Amino acid sequence: MRWCENCDRPFEGETCEQCGQVVESEIREPMPWKWRFFIVATVIYLIWRIYQLVSWLMH
């Protein structure tokens, strides 16, 4: 299975049957789980840092 970036859909074989474009790259996940985990971890880290900053400013 390969992914056509033009049509934004998967297809079989070397060329996309919808637009005829030759796509070399193998199919890839739209959003890998490690990236989701990384984003969530970054958000939690930022919230923790803001919380620390606020509590430091209060004292």
Binding site for Zn ion (CB under 5 A): 4, 6-7, 16, 18-19
In whole angstroms, the minimum distance from the beta carbon of 16 to Zn ion comes to 3
What CA–CA distance (Å, rounded) separates 25 from 47?
A: 37
Nearest residue to Zn ion, scored by beta-carbon proximity: 16
- Minimum CB separation of residue 5 from Zn ion in Å reads 8
- Give the whole-angstrom CA distance, residue 14 versus residue 18: 12
What's the distance, CA 57 to chain centroid? 36
Q: Which is nearer to Zn ion, 18 or 52 (CB)?
A: 18
